[in-house]
Structure 1
């Protein structure tokens, strides 16, 4: 470090904490544990770091601010997640700046750069998929904690740890549930080909069907109601043997249910049995009520916020990958007998 003054990043590296944790120590934040504070101050002393309070005041308007970057806020699943994170962070005295990237990695890079420029302490990102880095390089250069949630675009863990519901387990329990009705054939509907989240959600489906000796049928497509409605006609016309369907998400499943109503096909017992994925609030409000794989999105959002705060304040780096449990919520769209129950994983 000869020839230049030590920086806050140097202190963070020596103390084994994040840059944001050092900032909190410099501001005498009571949120930092005494042991962590002592380690940071020891590192400062050994490096000869001198705190420039005037400069810090100029750049510190983002203190206590956490960026939340979401790939598609039009989808109620992601909206429910964002709300749960924001409420959990607010409860701990942190503010949230929220951005929707509309599945565009270039826009994602722009909003991440803007958040860093405005001094966010950390970033939680549900990333868009794309060929470019989507702003992860900028996060690395800034030296702030960043947590990937729900989907994993950058797999360079442990730099960007990943949290998500256990999608493969969800596919398994949903497919087993559909097989309980002794169907002729079970289809998996929706999800764009090649995307990690699609592969994760239908991997359990493929696994269980292989064990049962049943051939899979995958109809890929956009994760939208519109595609689900189209799929209802396609199934009836080209695959009349299909009498059970696991959908990539609840939007596809709701579209499938609506499409069946349009063409006069029954859904549920005696008709096409349908299961969605995510268990958004609307699942219990449509007719027939939609069975779905519940990801406990409110609980997951609170856990993501707690994980980030532990990293930011205490320097507790999350594991490279953490999956949360899921469960099957059975309603009339797929029920054989009693329509309301929870099936353990």
Structure 2
């Protein structure tokens, strides 16, 4: 990795002394024009002030930054809790940041965590302005492992670990065919997103192999979207008798809407979700879902970032973890 820009680089760019740069970084009194010039120089060369540089260089800060795109989603909450506990068992602390699908907030939070000397990053990124986030991560020279989603694929500086989404989509589609479904739809996930395309790809390949026409309705991965899509399917695609949802939230929305629509889940409409969050077991009927085995995923993620931080062992560029289909009553199992 390239060396991180230094205070001397900032000073040279801004045309001031090293001590002046230090004063700006410490918030001391300097002329406003000088402060602006120094801050602009920092932005131009990608310099990020690291408050714990000494401990970071020795990988002994004991802090790992966990940056998550949406902690309101139970799937990510479960991962964050399990990851934090696994780090704690290894003597490290987790600094958690929720970016709420806001790429500008993501960049600011990562910069702040770099300043406070985290030894490594786990990031499930928000989409948009990817280069801004990558610039900060590149300049920080901090070990960074992407999970679930990817800002940049195939880059050894930012390894990527995710469940085998394609396999999960295949398992769900094959199961619905085995249950006798004649027309299967895919619901949810924003169009054009890599994670949507991956989760959909297994479904599309199975339908193609069986000479079936797909019905794809993309959109927000929320319960509200699922409820809306249940009504849309009944009105515009009454022939659909099976659905695979981008995630469990969409699927739970479908389940919630069906009683009012007079649809019997498990017979009239067979439903499969994705992620297997805890709510799947307690829904009515219980929701079939593709399990990403989050406890094992969290343990593997912790082991990989700690191996990188402590021993310099870089994870493989791209890795996929196993998935399995948990069959419940929503699909007639």
TM range (shorter): 0.7 to 0.9
Name the SS of the counterpart of 2:329 in structure 1. coil
Q: Once the two structures are superposed, what CA deviation does each residue of 1:186-244 show, in whole Å capped at 9, x if it has no partner? A: 00001100000000000000000000111101001100000000001000000000000
Per the alignment, do residues 127 and 114 of structure 1 end up closer, same or farther by CA in structure 2, a change over 3 Å counting? same
CA contact (8 A) 1:162 1:320 kept: yes
The answer to whether 1:294 aligns with 2:291 is: yes
CA contact (8 A) 1:291 1:333 kept: yes
CA contact (8 A) 1:62 1:119 kept: no
What is aligned with 1:44?
none
In structure 2, which of residues 266, 270, 273 is the aligned counterpart of residue 273 of structure 1?
270
What is aligned with 1:250?
248
The answer to whether 1:332 aligns with 2:329 is: yes
Per the alignment, do residues 282 and 143 of structure 1 end up closer, same or farther by CA in structure 2, a change over 3 Å counting? same
Cα separation, 2, equivalents of 1:166 and 1:150: 10
The answer to whether 1:141 aligns with 2:139 is: yes
In structure 1, which of residues 153, 159, 162 is the aligned counterpart of residue 160 of structure 2?
162
Measured after TM superposition, the shift of residue 298 of structure 1 is: 1.5
Measured after TM superposition, the shift of residue 64 of structure 1 is: 0.6
Per the alignment, do residues 318 and 61 of structure 1 end up closer, same or farther by CA in structure 2, a change over 3 Å counting? closer
Measured after TM superposition, the shift of residue 58 of structure 1 is: 11
CA contact (8 A) 1:99 1:111 kept: yes
CA RMSD, 1 decimal = 2.2
Measured after TM superposition, the shift of residue 307 of structure 1 is: 0.6
Unaligned runs of 5+ in 1: 1-6, 10-53, 340-345
Which 4+ runs in 1 deviate beyond 4 A?
57-62
Per the alignment, do residues 125 and 286 of structure 1 end up closer, same or farther by CA in structure 2, a change over 3 Å counting? same
Q: Once the two structures are superposed, what CA deviation does each residue of 1:96-124 show, in whole Å capped at 9, x if it has no partner? A: 10000010110000000000000000000
Name the SS of the counterpart of 1:125 in structure 2. strand
The answer to whether 1:214 aligns with 2:212 is: yes
TM-score, normalising length: structure 2: 0.82
Alignment: residue pair count: 286
Name the SS of the counterpart of 2:257 in structure 1. helix
The answer to whether 1:316 aligns with 2:313 is: yes
Measured after TM superposition, the shift of residue 183 of structure 1 is: 1.5
CA contact (8 A) 1:62 1:118 kept: no
Per the alignment, do residues 247 and 68 of structure 1 end up closer, same or farther by CA in structure 2, a change over 3 Å counting? same
What is aligned with 2:73?
75
What is aligned with 2:174?
176
Per the alignment, do residues 95 and 245 of structure 1 end up closer, same or farther by CA in structure 2, a change over 3 Å counting? same
TM-score, normalising length: structure 1: 0.79
Per the alignment, do residues 61 and 160 of structure 1 end up closer, same or farther by CA in structure 2, a change over 3 Å counting? closer
Unaligned runs of 5+ in 2: 6-51
Measured after TM superposition, the shift of residue 133 of structure 1 is: 2.2
Q: How does 1:37-76 map to 2 (within 5 A)?
A: 56=54, 63-76=61-74
Q: How does 1:92-131 map to 2 (within 5 A)?
A: 92-131=90-129
Measured after TM superposition, the shift of residue 155 of structure 1 is: 2.3
Measured after TM superposition, the shift of residue 56 of structure 1 is: 3.1
Cα separation, 1, equivalents of 2:95 and 2:162: 21
Measured after TM superposition, the shift of residue 136 of structure 1 is: 2.1
What is aligned with 2:226?
228
Measured after TM superposition, the shift of residue 8 of structure 1 is: 9.7
